[in-house]
Structure 1
Amino acid sequence: MGHLLQVLEKEQEMKTAELKGFPDFGPGDVLEVKLEVPENRRREAVFKGLCISKRRRGWRTVFTLRNHIANAGPIERTFPLYSPIIQSLKLIEHRKVRRAKLYYLRNANPREYKA
């Protein structure tokens, strides 16, 4: 039964990846995500930030973006990659990093990770 679920999830992942056409990205990249907010009459919202982690779990892949906004302070949001609310994903800048998870930026100065 487990193998059947893996095959079905892989097919769904491939179909959605072809449909949406997301760029290949990883931790350290600056991304811009356009979201469709269902609570706000399906209006689009844009969130721009530095990718601090990406959990590759096939169909359940998630990534975390972090940005610092002047009055609100640091903001972190985690998005499922294959979620229907994500309209588009744009790679703005590629930054070279030496770690897979950049959680140490939580204690860093905002100017080091500001997107």
Structure 2
Amino acid sequence: MSALRFTVDHEWLRLESDGLITVGITAYAQAALGDVVFVQVPELRSYRAGDEAAVLESVKAASNIGMPLDGEVVDVNATLQDSPEQVNEDPLGQGWFFRLRPSDASAMDHLLDQAAYDRLIQDQADA
């Protein structure tokens, strides 16, 4: 497994050994949202970066999860539909949302690394 990459919208991405990318929301996003009570995972199809991919509802708000990269969603975490609390309990593990086959895996290189993401969180906390 490779290191995580992050979006400015607080999604994490992990390149898996099979070339697929697993996507979820960060612990920071989960904490900001509060308890997640509903997750609608994306359809298995191709998306463009920025397309709405998934929807989650928490006790505080409803949020759209945008597609971080161009690619095809090939797997979803169907257990989230019956157990959305997995996002609360393990957002970087069992709370993943979907896996995609990227159109261009090198696009991940343009996302934030851990240090840059930590700076983003700090900057948002200071704002």
Same fold (TM over 0.5): no
The structure having more radius of gyration, on CA atoms, is: 1
Give the TM-score normalised by the residue count of structure 1. Answer: 0.29
Give the TM-score normalised by the residue count of structure 2. Answer: 0.27
Q: Which has the higher strand share?
A: 1
